[in-house]
Structure 1
């Protein structure tokens, strides 16, 4: 059956809506990472992002869109690679559509002078799924394995006091400061220093990713973009006795999806570990999320399977594994 691969303009709303509908259909059955609602996707696609350039690809058969791909080109670091997502309408699978979309994305990657493609496949815990075999057959390696976990707010409420008791006095002397998206000016530089450690401190497996430099200017620009797309980054930072930011965690909630949240980062400076700051910060962010969004039903997070400490923290809060994320990498 004939189909063509075309690049679409995200400002062409009917084309973007058709693209979104393909992704919605393709992801309808997965256990985690719900597909963004239309209003959120439209905002993300049409709001300028200084961090990444987005390329929207579509597989079109006649007047129907049957496949979709999103290629994100990092602009500030890791500019040697492209982050790729592929989606095929369920009734059109096994027709070579994903293969054609991948070939076009790889051609664009080479044309941009980039050498690496990153993607992901979701599989059941301890199991497999067609996306894994597809990736292996096309030259992708599994660079890291992550556990995707979900926490219902009912479970969190039931476990919250026990989590606070576990923190106890371990973090005495540290102040927990919370905010919605925009970091207080007095902590901006120190918070940026901590964020710059992220890729060096979290288990990345074989992923070829470099650290980022978070200047105050970059942080403010990133905050304003979150505000522009209606995403609230509900953040807690731990302030050490000397005034530096020793740790941070956040829960992200979109105004268009107030019942679902997602953890962005949780990171504690190595020099301040062993004081239960990770657990204290997570309790603070989940409390902030609940007070800000009373209709919040659940929060998702993902951590490398080898990150035993953070996985233990999440289990203590009541998170349960719902899927495994295979972080995929292909060197062109």
Structure 2
């Protein structure tokens, strides 16, 4: 018999069992991808997200943990109608109703929390995508996942040292310096007009929020790197990279944006090349960078292809209206 249980205080045994399900799912669905580490799963499960709170459930079939689910409830303005869902079922226990039980539990909790829309991501051509479509979820955004072999990148020095009159580079580790916090928040808000299909991406950034976001990454145990292009004392463009705790061989590209009035000056390519230069100099263990692009974001796709990113797989963002 399947037993659904909500988790409240996360124990080490909960983390280990959750990790086992995730690792088995990655091995089956995404062969060749890095395995999640215990440290990464622990940080992810025990660190509250920014402007959000998590509800978590497990399913046990007898004494065996066979599935896990999480519902992230956003509390910020303009996002308090959303619930972000992740569901994973151990490959050995699929097609037995475990995923359906978890989805029913998550949807019921979302309704109690007065959420209108469930948001979930799944890699194309995997059981997860087929499951969501069978349950009536609608694809609202198609993404291309790209991978860069850091060791094979060439021509970075020339890009970094190219002249950009009126601009200069800056960089920081972790939380943004106080003197740049306000202008960095303005630059983060420039992401609001990037192509996002039918996704609801409303986010309001201020100095406190950019600091809080960096602190969340730090509490998870991850490393956050930021490179910016300054025009005077104003950030005109930036890029962020996260090195997850644990294995540390694959970094994850976070946000990249150029403020509208500074576009057309090659700043996106410049800051991303400078990030690569910094990464190779001080974090030589990082071998790969993973990023994703909306398929209609032609400019950023061109920047990534110029740096040497190559297609890895497709993924989709789904919505379900409760």
Bin of the TM-score, shorter chain as denominator length = over 0.9
CA deviations on 1:206-261 (whole Å, 9 max, x unpaired) are: 11232x222222222222222222211110111113x2111110111124232110
- SS class of match (2:269): helix
Contact 2:22 2:36 in 1 (8 A): no
Q: Distance in 2 between matches of 1:185 and 1:109?
A: 37
Query: Is 1:53–2:53 an aligned residue pair?
Result: yes
Match for residue 72 of structure 2? 72
Contact 1:258 1:293 in 2 (8 A): no
Contact 1:73 1:79 in 2 (8 A): yes
Q: How far 1:10 moved relative to its partner?
A: 4.7
Q: How far 1:281 moved relative to its partner?
A: 0.6
Q: Distance in 1 between matches of 2:119 and 2:137?
A: 9
Change (3 A) 1:45 1:7: same
Change (3 A) 1:40 1:73: same
What aligned pairs does 1:83-102 form with structure 2 within 5 A after superposition?
83-102=84-103
Match for residue 244 of structure 2? 254
Contact 1:140 1:329 in 2 (8 A): yes
Match for residue 156 of structure 2? 160
Q: Distance in 1 between matches of 2:59 and 2:157?
A: 51
Change (3 A) 1:297 1:146: same
2:220 to 199, 222, 229: 229
Match for residue 330 of structure 1? 320
Contact 2:69 2:87 in 1 (8 A): yes
Q: Distance in 1 between matches of 2:126 and 2:21?
A: 19
Query: Is 1:270–2:263 an aligned residue pair?
Result: no
Unaligned 5+ residue runs, structure 1? Answer: none
Contact 2:84 2:118 in 1 (8 A): yes
Match for residue 8 of structure 1? 7
Q: Distance in 2 between matches of 1:298 and 1:41?
A: 20
Q: Distance in 2 between matches of 1:130 and 1:302?
A: 20
Match for residue 216 of structure 1? 207
User: How many residues matched?
Assistant: 320
- Normalising by structure 1, we get a TM-score of 0.91
Following TM superposition, the consecutive aligned residue runs of length 4 or more in structure 1 with deviations greater than 6 angstroms are none
CA deviations on 1:145-177 (whole Å, 9 max, x unpaired) are: 010000011222x24246458xx33x2211110
Q: Distance in 2 between matches of 1:197 and 1:52?
A: 22
Q: How far 1:264 moved relative to its partner?
A: 0.2
Q: Distance in 2 between matches of 1:224 and 1:151?
A: 27
Contact 2:39 2:245 in 1 (8 A): no
1:308 to 290, 298, 302: 298
Q: Distance in 1 between matches of 2:112 and 2:178?
A: 41
Match for residue 116 of structure 1? 117
Contact 1:32 1:148 in 2 (8 A): no
Contact 1:32 1:322 in 2 (8 A): no
